[in-house]
Structure 1
């Protein structure tokens, strides 16, 4: 009898406690439990984290990602689609996704797609054929068919940086960012401001342009259509648009470039015309890539919180049933530097 009781206790002790059991007992999502119990990152001291750890100890939970993945019939692998890794922003986004996935015990595989929906769909099918557990997509266009197909097929997925307005999406608040950038230039005294929007087939470009328009309209500044230039997100496109603006008989005094690569192109165009950035021309970029603060004239930029966006995207992909709002927006931050110059006294104003 005593031997039978001992065997029963051993079986109970050896039973594997799952993340979901801990999550249900603690009243949080499984992804929250996974982050809290990951000993590869500094422990959180929040009340929620303390409760999760206490519940896990009480239930006898022991982390075993590989075994857990096998029991779920999953591979603990996430596919990531980006337009190109030569784009600094997309490389930063992928690295942030990879860091967030590692904390949750997942491995990431990346595929590049350009801006071609056909190539994007083929890359998605290839990754799914390799049994990834879901897809994180940074290549989505506004009218992209892939998210709709994934929804119809019940494939776990989330969009990052860009959104189609329906699928689970973790993005920056692009309208707020465009507003901050343009409002900063207005507050410095500029009224003749050009906006390089990026490609308007992306939600990022349309959002940033909408924010810029709102700031101009609030300030009572008439929006000159010639000052709103649709571009790609590449350096060459920024240089081309900059030459077009600076070769004009009445060049603008300020430029908001909807990403930092565009801003680098504008700097090149200004140099070709012997115009000083931060002096003759005020310039604001977007995303605050690592190079921005290292330039000879450090670039004012709107910082995108890539790590926050990545972590939210994984939550949306892994726990879609627990998400009330499928589109999450992270607030950007304006980082003022020398490229936007100092306060400018408008022509005709008293000194």
Structure 2
């Protein structure tokens, strides 16, 4: 960092300057001021940090990383940041990266495979040390391409079954959601799941089917709608299900946006969520508990997934164990009730 003063008097504060100021060795200063580790609380450490602050020293992360052959930057790819789940996931990754002395940068690509590849190459061109992909498709070729090129990467919130992946246990989550509805006495249950090309949508539906099968209940094709993950998609699915003759008494929506759309459709049709219709969402985004009728939802631990993903990306992983799943939990609220 440059000190204030006339141009001819300005200089860069170095580790040696801090060492001389605090009366310790350069190696001691380097170790204490390396913020990638747990901060030391010793008297020497306190003295060194005080000297560094007095002199205006800033650690040169870029130079340090160059010496290690790295940039200290993690690239994160998401479909969009307007989606609350993607925003929450990136924030969790950024926190996890910061704890390990890395900086996370994000790129968006929508749901288009070509845009995904272009965004990936842009991140790689910026010299990122590795990639974390929160993109949703399971039919794209990008993970295989990254494996062939030896590029460190981890998938989050989904898996292709081969690349290292950190995600929630979506099948268990789907099971918990529908088991909750069954325990409340519901037998006519519909499922609004995500797109067919998402592992999360497929796994949550599989979990729902497992719970229904255990109860001896069939899930007819007319009670399953596969759609996008947005609020508008949920609203459209809600109208389709709730306008039909013999509407379901309960709906499991495979994310909270879908559930919010269904709640809106229900209210417009004069159907009261939590009374006339039970609804369960997924991910437990912050808005879920703040709705006029607080939403029962399956909570996903984004911070646990992010920490696991960083560990997978930055540490050698044992062969044959690339997929790690965080257990979800059901949060009951007023949008579900016992059937009359």
Q: Place the TM-score, normalised by the shorter chain, in its bin.
A: 0.7 to 0.9
Residue from 140, 143, 147 that aligns with 2:139? 143
Q: Name the CA shift for 1:153/1:17 in 2 (closer, same or farther; >3 Å).
A: farther
Rounded Cα–Cα distance in structure 2 between residues aligned with 1:241 and 1:247: 10
Matched, 1:238 2:251: no
Rounded Cα–Cα distance in structure 1 between residues aligned with 2:30 and 2:318: 21
Matched, 1:14 2:27: yes
Rounded Cα–Cα distance in structure 2 between residues aligned with 1:194 and 1:308: 30
Matched, 1:344 2:327: no
SS of residue paired to 2:335:
helix
Rounded Cα–Cα distance in structure 2 between residues aligned with 1:240 and 1:321: 43
Rounded Cα–Cα distance in structure 1 between residues aligned with 2:29 and 2:113: 43
Residue from 250, 259, 269 that aligns with 1:273? 269
Residue from 296, 300, 320 that aligns with 2:296? 300
1:70 Cα shift? 1.9
Rounded Cα–Cα distance in structure 2 between residues aligned with 1:152 and 1:15: 42
Instruction: Report what 2:38 is aligned to.
Output: 38
1:210 Cα shift? 0.3
1:71 Cα shift? 1.5
SS of residue paired to 1:339:
coil
1:67 Cα shift? 4.9
Matched, 1:185 2:181: yes
1:224 Cα shift? 1.2
Residue from 96, 103, 112 that aligns with 1:100? 96
Tell whether the 8 Å contact from 1:140 to 1:164 is kept in structure 2 after alignment.
Answer: no
1:319 Cα shift? 1.3
1:325 Cα shift? 1.4
Rounded Cα–Cα distance in structure 2 between residues aligned with 1:141 and 1:308: 22
1:91 Cα shift? 0.4
Rounded Cα–Cα distance in structure 1 between residues aligned with 2:318 and 2:263: 46
TM-score, with length taken from structure 2: 0.83
Matched, 1:134 2:134: no
User: In the TM superposition, what are the counterparts of 1:1-351 in structure 2 within 5 Å?
Assistant: 14=27, 37-39=37-39, 66-322=62-318, 325-341=321-337, 343-345=338-340
- Give ranges in structure 2 of 5+ residues lacking alignment: 1-24, 41-58
Rounded Cα–Cα distance in structure 2 between residues aligned with 1:181 and 1:149: 36
1:39 Cα shift? 3.5
Tell whether the 8 Å contact from 1:173 to 1:330 is kept in structure 2 after alignment.
Answer: yes
SS of residue paired to 2:246:
coil
- Give ranges in structure 1 of 5+ residues lacking alignment: 1-11, 19-33, 41-62, 346-351
Rounded Cα–Cα distance in structure 1 between residues aligned with 2:292 and 2:29: 57
Rounded Cα–Cα distance in structure 2 between residues aligned with 1:281 and 1:262: 15
1:66 Cα shift? 4.7
Tell whether the 8 Å contact from 1:159 to 1:167 is kept in structure 2 after alignment.
Answer: yes
Rounded Cα–Cα distance in structure 1 between residues aligned with 2:275 and 2:164: 43
Rounded Cα–Cα distance in structure 1 between residues aligned with 2:201 and 2:331: 20
1:17 Cα shift? 9.1
Q: How many residues align?
A: 298
SS of residue paired to 1:262:
helix
Name the Cα RMSD after superposition: 2.3
Tell whether the 8 Å contact from 2:136 to 2:197 is kept in structure 1 after alignment.
Answer: no
> What does the per-residue CA deviation read over 1:212-247, in whole Å, with 9 as the maximum and x for residues that have no partner?
000000000111110011010000000000001111
Rounded Cα–Cα distance in structure 2 between residues aligned with 1:15 and 1:253: 67
